[in-house]
């Protein structure tokens, strides 16, 4: 059996956060303080470890990401350093830049701010 092809793993988390988008006109609903139950999906590409039979331990991924997610969960995103304009795009970028340093197999972060909208970085 060949292990040259990669697998794709996804780990999903939910955080509750408040935000407002300061660059929008005051009549836009997102310019006011409001909350989201953000779904965050972290996608990894990696090779199978023939010893363990997996690419990476999901529990390990959770443990590594926890300190990062704790900075966002039940916080006002605008008050988090680097997120003064916390659009979903900026949130995906913020998460990818930090998570990729500790999880090098990370290839994408997807932010779902509602069940019908989502944003991914990078593609
Ligand atoms: Zn919003």
Distance 56 CA to ligand 1 centre (A): 33
Q: Note the pTM of the prediction, 2 decimals.
A: 0.95
Sign for the CA dihedral angle at 68, 71, 73, 77 comes to negative
Look at residue 4 in the predicted model and tell me its pLDDT.
84
Query: Contact, 91 vs 38, CB < 8 A?
Result: yes
pLDDT at 1: 55
Indicate the domain borders of the chain: 77-123
Residue 54 CA to ligand 1 centre (angstroms): 37
Look at residue 58 in the predicted model and tell me its pLDDT: 97
CA-based radius of gyration for the chain: 16
> What residues in the chain have per-residue pLDDT under 50?
none
Selection from 23, 13, 31 nearest residue 110 by Cα: 13
Alpha helix segments (H runs only) across the chain? 58-70, 88-102
CATH of 77-123, one of 3.20.20.140, 1.20.1260.10, 3.30.70.20, 3.30.479.10: 3.30.479.10
Q: How far is the CA of 88 from the centre of ligand 1 (A)?
A: 8
Tokens at 62, concatenated: 């959770």
Structure tokens at 55: 């690419």
- pLDDT, tens digit, 9 for 90 and up, residues 1-32: 556 899 999 999 999 999 999 999 999 999 99
CA of 96 relative to ligand 1 center, distance in Å: 20
Residue 112, number of CB atoms within 10 A of its CB: 19
Ligand 1 centroid–CA 99 distance in Å is 23
Q: What is the pLDDT of residue 17?
A: 98
Active site residues: 30, 74, 113
């Amino acid at each position: 059996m060949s292990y040259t092809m990669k697998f794709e793993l996804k780990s999903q988390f939910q955080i509750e956060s408040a935000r407002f988008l300061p660059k929008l006109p005051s009549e836009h609903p997102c310019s006011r303080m409001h909350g989201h139950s953000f779904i965050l999906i972290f996608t990894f590409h990696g090779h199978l470890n023939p010893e363990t039979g997996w690419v990476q331990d999901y529990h390990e991924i959770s443990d590594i990401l926890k300190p990062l997610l704790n900075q966002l969960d039940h916080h006002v995103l605008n008050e988090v350093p680097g997120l003064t304009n916390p659009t979903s795009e900026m949130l995906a970028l913020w998460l990818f830049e930090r998570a990729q340093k500790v999880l090098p197999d990370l290839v994408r972060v997807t932010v779902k701010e509602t069940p019908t909208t989502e944003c991914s970085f990078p593609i």
